[in-house]
Amino acid sequence: MFETWDVSHWSLIRQETIGADEKYWLAHPTDGQPWLFKANNIHENAAGSWSQREDFAEKLGGELATAMGIPCARIEFARRDDELGCISLNLCPEGWELQTGVVVLDGLLEDYEPGYTARNRVRRGHSLENIRWALEGYGPPPGADVPSNFDAFDVFAGYVVFDAMVANRDRHDENWAVMRPPPGSGRPTLAGSFDHARALGSTLREAKITALLQEEGVPKWCYRGTAWRFEHDPEHGCPTLVDIASRALRMVAPAVRDHWLGGVADITTTKVASLTSRIPDMSVVVSTFIEQVVTTNRRRVLDGC
């Protein structure tokens, strides 16, 4: 079983202000490394309360990304007093600066409208073409286990493929980042992937998941996974996550495409099941659903990209 780390007594470094929910950077008590604590969202209504399990999505997302060769934040299950959630190890080396995509695109494009503004529902400017342009000259994340000739956009294409695998519709302009080393110490890089909290249907309640499984609705649910966080034309509908993965793979060299599709092929149902079996408290309904989602998307990506 994956362990749950008790971080109740870790000292607070600071609150993280980016993102929707309250989150805290905490220092590991022995080595002082910063980890971001993200508590699961609790929903209250007249019928009572229920907890979303973003921690399942973050932990499994991290494990599946690693299995595909995607550089990403290390994730552990965590408890802070009575709050359950996860911790994400800081991706940014000491002395470096992390800047999210919104800052990078704002510096590149005139009139860039951040994706979080209500005015920019079609995510104008947040396109694969602009991201490739923005990442020109950037390296892959430090220590990434990718071929040495890969550049930052080659790795970003992998993130988009990974998102299609795990039904992550949340790759907006604050859910990818670059990292800048201190002046004079090398080139900036893409940051490893982070924030997989909305992947793998983490927003669905168990009753809904049961209904999807009984009606054999999982493939249908997967096909509804749109890449709405990327620029799209509402008149022509929003591309699916698999469409955008396919587009990203057509923008990179054939060897890069083959590399990521090899990573996808490696994610067998047995591999997913061996990971879900290590998650404490995961019900059979949820693990079955997650296995079906990844298996369905694996087939869609291999057939469609």
Ligand X SMILES: Nc1ncnc2c1ncn2[C@@H]1O[C@H](COP(=O)(O)OP(=O)(O)O)[C@@H](O)[C@H]1O
Integer Cα distance of 240 and 305 in angstroms: 12
Rule CB under 6 A: which of 144-183 touch ligand X? 174-175, 177
Angle at 10 between CA 8 and CA 16, to 5 degrees: 95
How far apart are the C-alpha atoms of 64 and 206, rounded to whole Å? 22
Using CB under 5 A as the binding rule, the residues of this chain from 166 to 225 that contact Mg ion are 175, 195
Nearest distance in Å: CB 223, ligand X: 25
CB of 121 to ligand X, least distance (A): 18
CA distances 247 to 65, 75, 76, Å, are: 20, 29, 32
Q: DSSP state, 236?
A: G
Q: How many CB atoms lie within 10 A of CB 186?
A: 11
Q: Which two tokens stand for residue 151?
A: 């550049």
- Amino acid (one-letter) located at 220: K
- Which residue number, 197 or 238, has a Cβ lying nearer to Mg ion? 197
From the CB of 113, what's the least distance to Mg ion, in Å?
18
Among 12, 18, 207, 211, binds ligand X (CB under 6 A): 18
Stretch that binds ligand X, among 18-26, 101-109, 199-207, 242-250 (CB under 6 A): 18-26
Nearer to Mg ion, 174 or 243 (CB): 174
Q: Does 194 bind ligand X (CB under 6 A)?
A: yes
Q: What share of the chain is helix, strand, coil (3-state, %, to 5)?
A: 40, 20, 45
Tell me if 195 contacts ligand X by CB under 6 A. Answer: yes
The site that binds ligand X (CB under 6 A) totals a number of residues, namely 22
Selection from ligand X, Mg ion, none that 173 binds (CB < 5 to 8 A by kind) is none
Closest approach, Cβ 149 to ligand X, in A, equals 26
Chosen from ligand X, Mg ion, none, partner binding at 282 (C-beta under 5 to 8 Å by type):
none
Which long-range CB contacts under 8 A does 105-110 form with residues at least 24 apart? 105/130, 105/131, 105/134, 105/173, 108/133, 108/134
73 contact, one of ligand X, Mg ion, none, CB 5-8 Å limit per kind: ligand X
Shorter beta-carbon distance to Mg ion: residue 100 or 296? 100
Restricting to residues 70-99, name those near ligand X by CB under 6 A. 73, 88-92, 98
Neighbour-count burial for 78-87, b at 16+ CB within 10 Å, e otherwise: bbbeebbbbb
Nearer to Mg ion, 177 or 245 (CB): 177
97 in Cβ contact with 180 (< 8 Å): yes
In the complex with Mg ion, the residue whose CB is nearer, 175 or 295, is: 175
Distance between CA atoms of residues 140 and 149, nearest Å: 9
Written as one string, the DSSP assignment of 31-61 is T--EEEEEEPPEEEETTEEEE--HHHHHHHH
55 binds ligand X (CB under 6 A): no
Q: What minimum distance in Å lies between the beta carbon of 191 and ligand X?
A: 7
87 binds, among Mg ion, ligand X, none (CB under 5 to 8 A by kind): none
Please tell me whether residue 291 adopts helix, strand or coil conformation: helix
Q: Which of residues 53, 62, 65, 100 is near ligand X by CB under 6 A?
A: 100
Among 13, 19, 228, 285, binds ligand X (CB under 6 A): 19
